[in-house]
Structure 1
């Protein structure tokens, strides 16, 4: 999930899912994104955190390709791609994290310090 130079991508935001069910979580995630990000057509998730990942799914009448990675360098991220718009890497706070440790992680990610 890192570019060819080996440097990690910056974190563009954070997500604290309610479950590990990607089919339920992805529509909620995409609905909450800024409109300026455009239509997300590809999502890459960590296979260890999201066990069931189909090859694609229909979200808001649009096909979204889903990919799984087992990259150790990005165990808690989700990567969103929108053609012609860009790539966004989001920190995923594990679902079972309590509010006390989750809040600073979310705040740091929102300010690009995760």
Structure 2
């Protein structure tokens, strides 16, 4: 048996998946964010090529990216994208939930970064909210709001599970436990 090795090109990276993006539509309304990006991992070197490629048509060639190091374990200085280089910088002062993209000829875009571990429903809510033209909500505010919404959904699920497991009669509609004496029995219905 003969083995042939193809050493052309860099084979160390897995094939890139399409970038998951939600961008604001063209509008005269300037907002805090220009959209959202939901990466598959926290590996910038693996994730940035698909993002830059997806944005090239609507926004032009991305030349620089800025991140907060609090959300990315490794920050490369440069990332190769289709035979060119995207420079990556980091700033502790930058909102940790935001990515800043710069294009040589076109300008700057601020994008919410939806954490890779976010569930699909929460990611959809965040991506839709970040793409509203003229929105004054920052990346940090959107993430904080989603945390509150997520807790509310979990609490509602727990209340419903308790309601179902106890026959629905031991919890008030507001999620508070009720004494069984407070619940009218079928025999005391006045008949």
Report which of the two has the higher share of strand.
Answer: 1
- Structure number with the bigger relative contact order (C-alpha 8 A, sep ≥ 6) is 1
Asked which structure has the greater CA Rg, the reply is 2
Counterpart in 2 of 1:86?
107
Greater per-residue helix proportion: 2
- Alignment map for 1:1-114 (pairs within 5 Å): 10-33=32-55, 35-71=57-93, 74-112=95-133, 113=135, 114=137
**Please, what TM-score do these two structures have when normalized by structure 2?**
0.52
Q: Matched residues in 2 for 1:30 and 1:80: separation?
A: 9
- Count residues with an aligned counterpart: 105
Relative to 1, partners in 2 of residues 1:36 and 1:15: Cα closer, same or farther, differing over 3 Å? closer
Q: CA RMSD in A?
A: 1.6
- 2 CA distance for matches of 1:81 and 1:88? 7
Deviation at 1:43, TM superposition (A): 0.4
Q: Deviations over 1:29-85 (max 9, x none)?
A: 1121151411111000110111211111221111111001222x5110111001220
Using the alignment, how far apart are the partners of 1:101 and 1:38 within structure 2? 29
Cα distance in 2, alignment partners of residues 97 and 57 from structure 1 = 25
User: Which structure 1 residue ranges, 4+ long, deviate > 3 Å from structure 2?
Assistant: none
